[in-house]
Amino acid sequence: MGKRRMGRRAFLRGIGTAGVAAAAGASAAGCDAVQRLTGLGRVPRRELANLGDKLSVVGFGGIVVMDETQEDANAWVAQAVERGVNYFDVAPAYGNAEERLGPALEPYRHEAFLACKTAQRYRQAAWDELQRSLERLRTDYLDLYQFHAVTTLADVDRITGKGGALEAFLEARDAGLIRYIGFSAHNEVAALELMDRVPFDTILYPLQWACWYRGRFGQQVLAKAREQGLGILALKALARGQKTADSAQRFPKCWYEPVATPEEAALGLRWTLALEGVTSAVSPSHAELLFWACDAAGDDLSPLTEEEVAALQAEAERVNPLFTAV
């Protein structure tokens, strides 16, 4: 066992569970309006801004079923639904995830909130990809359709310009093919500019402790999303940092280094879900991580203690964050 892994164990032991003080930068307000399920499972639900929908605080990330058997996909979706998960997020960029998720989710489609994304930036290409996604997902509408991974100002210009993908999104909403319009991004400048140009319903954005504390990443975007009343959905809550030469290969579908234990998963999830306005955190790309998140959500969503925040801030200094502010 290397020194780094032993350090992480010591870090987890050190944070403990003492105290109930609200964490600086991770507000107790984020835990308001949490509804514990009584019939469907243990995962709570929260209001998605003022849109009228209640989403499970853990979202089922579509990469979980990518490159898996249909039997496993069916079983994991059924188990997630039984646990109370009703928010599912997928994209064509995730290999064959749509083909796996569609049949698995079909028996539960009436109770699911299904989100999909497109990386296409022009109208016709986005429209065509939407039609393919609907077919693969075996549904006649999506609850949420998102511009995927908006990264540059050029992306923003293409999406919002004449003949851009926004035109397809608006047409699809008018036709009843999608209910809400959102976007995901990994760049603060692009995210802020896009929010200035388009009245979105939701944003899907990395909100993770190492990015926040060491990378100073997420504060501006979260504040603007709250100001605009957007539904806020989180990425990378169960991340740790960039992969290194000695990173474990336990989770090969993760392009970054994820948490390594259920205890780390619980801490990361609690941190993200305690941010004011955050409705749900999408799980990483393996079923084990998904169900660690489900367990954590069912067990304890209390705000971080002052001791836990201090420990995370110190740990962030030892991590190369996935994203940093420009």
Supply the pLDDT for residue 25.
Answer: 43
Task: List pLDDT tens digits, range 97-106.
Answer: 999 999 999 9
Report the percentage of the chain scoring pLDDT > 70: 87
Q: Is residue 15 part of a domain?
A: no
Q: Which residues contact 325 (CB under 8 A, 6 or more apart)?
A: 188, 215, 216, 217, 219, 220
| pLDDT, position 247 | 65
Query: What's the pLDDT score for residue 41?
Result: 43
Instruction: Report the chain's mean pLDDT, rounded to a whole number.
Output: 89
The answer as to whether 60 is a domain residue is yes
Would you give the DSSP letter of residue 78? H
Number of domains in the chain: 1
How crowded is residue 47: how many other Cβ atoms within 10 Å of its Cβ?
16
Confidence of residue 246 (pLDDT cuts 50, 70, 90): low
197 compared with 33, residue with greater pLDDT: 197
Q: How confident is the model at residue 2 (pLDDT cuts 50, 70, 90)?
A: very low
- Identify whether 93 is part of a domain: yes
Sign of torsion, CA 143 211 84 29?
negative
Residue the block writes with tokens 């992969």: 243
- Residues 296-314: b if buried by 16+ CB within 10 A, e if exposed: bbbeebebbbebbbebbbe
Q: Which band of pLDDT confidence, cut at 50, 70 and 90, is reported for residue 14?
A: very low
Question: What pLDDT, on the 0 to 100 scale, is given for residue 15?
Answer: 43
- Tell me, yes or no, whether 26 lies in a domain: no
pLDDT of residue 48: 98
Instruction: Tell me the two tokens of residue 37.
Output: 């399920």
Which string of DSSP letters, residue by residue, matches 177-214? SEEEEEEEES-HHHHHHHHHHS--SEEEEE--HHHHHT
Give the mean model confidence (pLDDT) for residues 13-18. 39
Segment 28-32 long-range contacts (CB within 8 Å, at least 24 positions apart):
28/274, 28/303, 29/276, 29/277, 30/273, 30/274, 30/275, 30/276, 30/277, 30/278, 30/303, 31/273, 31/274, 31/301, 31/302, 31/303
**Residue 35, domain member (yes or no):** no
Burial 262-295 (b: 16+ CB within 10 A, else e): bbbbbbbbbbbbbbbbbbbbbbbbbbebbbbbbb
Q: Does residue 28 register a pLDDT over 50? A: no
Q: What CATH number should be reported for the domain holding residue 98?
A: 3.20.20.100
Mean pLDDT of the region 232-242: 97
The pLDDT of residue 10 is 45
154 versus 18: which is more confidently predicted? Answer: 154
Of the pLDDT bands very low, low, confident and very high (cuts 50, 70, 90), residue 42 is: confident
At 123-167, the pLDDT tens digits run 999 999 999 999 999 999 999 999 999 999 999 999 999 999 999
Structural domain containing residue 68: 43-316
CB 66 within 8 A of CB 100: yes
Residue 326 lies in a domain: no
| Residue 293 domain-assigned (yes or no) | yes
Q: Is the whole-model pTM more than 0.85?
A: yes
The residues, ordered by sequence, that sit 6+ positions from 245 with a Cβ below 8 Å of its Cβ are: none
Q: Is residue 87 part of a domain?
A: yes
Judge whether 294 and 80 are in contact, CB under 8 Å.
yes
Mean pLDDT of 73-88: 98
Q: Is the pLDDT of residue 268 over 90?
A: yes
Structure tokens of 1? 């066992």
Report which of residues 312 and 249 the model is more confident about: 312
pLDDT on residue 248: 65
**pLDDT, average across residues 219-227:** 98
